[in-house]
Amino acid sequence: MSKKDYYELLGLSKSAGEAEIKKAYRRLARQYHPDANQDDKNAEEKFKEVSEAYEVLSDTQKRAQYDQFGHAAFQEGQGYGGFQGGYGGGPFEDIFNMFTGRGFSEDDIFGMFHGGGQTRQKKGPEKGNDLRYDLEVEFIEAAFGVEKEIQIMRAENCPECNGTGAQKGSSPKTCPKCGGSGQVKYAQNTMLGQFVNIKTCDECHGAGEVNEDPCHNCHGTGRIRRKRKIKVKIPAGVDTGYRIRISGEGEPGIRGGGSGDLYIFIHVKSHEIFKREGNDIFCNMTVTFAQAALGDEIEVTTLEGHSKFNLPAGTQNGKVYKLREEGIPAFRGRRGDLYFEIQVETPTDLSKDQRELLMQFAEVRGEKIKPSEDKEKGFFKKVKDALGGS
């Protein structure tokens, strides 16, 4: 169930302006409104999709996030990655709780990539940037959880000047260009006349202060880039698309603002035997013709090793059996199941004796068969005879 592109839903191009978005939404909302389409499930679904698309695209910040990260920017607990809801706040809540000790709010989702959603104010504290790290984990690691050490490059406050950018002994001075306001006015001439515009001061970048003697270590930026090793605890049961937030491990805030967070995006590698769907896993199990016909105690490969299974006599090729709770451990509640499909193997390397036994077997069952190998042998024999061989 891949989500439709928000722009596509509204029939817009990526460059659509605010007015266009509003117009498209109004038109479609009227068309699919539940009042106008009673008992029409499709229309209701469409109405929801269109409203969701509008909610994001009409909000500048959400739209920017969507443009950059797509639907991944707004993943919530519902029905994602095979988890069909059912346990309260969804799987994300568990992951977030683990690190922050609190619930998962809408602020967490929308605050992700732009520092908490507060409007920028001159000189006010600003939360640091959040960081994203894409982490590949093995199938088994995702199933049972693992602790990993990752290495990230991030900006940190310069230890020499504590992030102020001013050399020790000097202090920041009021910006001469904007007089400390952080903003400058400039006139713009257009066909309609002259306008006075306000923009962020490019001398102090809106801070209102400049360093007369910049820190020698960070060249006045207050930041240095550093490699950091960070331990990440991956909980059992994660799947591709899950994110883990590590609070405060993003980039440092500005003017006393808190650090951003680090988000670990999980990518689970495929497994050579198992395929995963939600918390259930699937594999093939090869048995011989004799095992399938007579039944046998077989060993099925599981995530933890092997499990004995009594294969019933007369098992057909393609039959699927289930081992309860041998799938992926869930965050909460029941563990998934393991399904295996029987593949009956036809022997290809029969010896002379084995062939004869099978021929007898067929005869006893009243099957009249003309083995194809006999024809080939016959043909070669004829050639040999023709050449005068033995």
Q: Please, which residue, 158 or 238, has the CB nearer to Zn ion?
A: 158
Q: Please, which residue, 49 or 160, has the CB nearer to Zn ion?
A: 160
**What is the nearest approach in angstroms of Zn ion to the Cβ of residue 31?**
51
Q: Which stretch binds Zn ion (CB under 5 A): 67-75, 148-156, 176-184, 187-195?
A: 176-184
Q: 282 exposed, middle or buried (CB, 10 Å; 0-12, 13-18, 19+)?
A: middle
**What is the nearest approach in angstroms of Zn ion to the Cβ of residue 174?**
8
CB contact at 8 A, 321 and 339:
yes
Q: How far apart are the first and last CA of the chain?
A: 68
Q: Please, which residue, 178 or 264, has the CB nearer to Zn ion?
A: 178
What is the pattern of x (binds Zn ion, CB under 5 A) and - over residues 252-281? ------------------------------
Q: Which residues of 223-245 are buried (b: 16+ CB within 10 A; e: fewer)?
A: bbeeeeeeebebbebbbbbbbbb
**What is the nearest approach in angstroms of Zn ion to the Cβ of residue 215?**
3
**What is the nearest approach in angstroms of Zn ion to the Cβ of residue 204?**
3
Q: Please, which residue, 218 or 254, has the CB nearer to Zn ion?
A: 218
Q: Please, which residue, 126 or 239, has the CB nearer to Zn ion?
A: 126
Tell me the chain's radius of gyration from C-alpha atoms: 33
CB contact at 8 A, 122 and 199:
no
What is the pattern of x (binds Zn ion, CB under 5 A) and - over residues 42-61? --------------------
Where are the strands (E) in the chain, listed by range?
Answer: 131-137, 146-157, 173-174, 183-190, 193-200, 209-210, 223-234, 243-246, 262-268, 275-277, 280-288, 296-301, 306-311, 320-323, 338-345
**What is the nearest approach in angstroms of Zn ion to the Cβ of residue 268?**
41
What is the pattern of x (binds Zn ion, CB under 5 A) and - over residues 180-219? ---------------------x-xx----------x-xx-
Contacts of 206 (CB under 8 A, 6+ apart): 120, 122, 182, 183, 200
Helix (H, G, I), strand (E, B) or coil at 33: coil
Helix (H, G, I), strand (E, B) or coil at 324: coil
Q: Please, which residue, 182 or 237, has the CB nearer to Zn ion?
A: 182
Nearest-CA neighbor of 285 among 335, 333, 368, 344? 344
Single-letter residue type at 73: A
Query: Which residue among 3, 23, 177, 243 contacts Zn ion (CB under 5 A)?
Result: 177
Q: Please, which residue, 205 or 332, has the CB nearer to Zn ion?
A: 205
Residues from 127 through 166 that contact Zn ion (CB under 5 A): 158, 160-161
Nearest-CA neighbor of 165 among 122, 221, 124? 221
Q: Please, which residue, 73 or 204, has the CB nearer to Zn ion?
A: 204
**What is the nearest approach in angstroms of Zn ion to the Cβ of residue 191?**
31
Round to whole Å and give the CA distance between 130 and 115.
7
**What is the nearest approach in angstroms of Zn ion to the Cβ of residue 115?**
22
Q: Please, which residue, 3 or 177, has the CB nearer to Zn ion?
A: 177
Query: Which residue among 24, 56, 143, 175 contacts Zn ion (CB under 5 A)?
Result: 175
DSSP for residue 121? -
- Is 73 a residue that touches Zn ion (CB under 5 A)? no
Provide the binding-site residues for Zn ion, judged by CB under 5 A: 158, 160-161, 175, 177-178, 201, 203-204, 215, 217-218
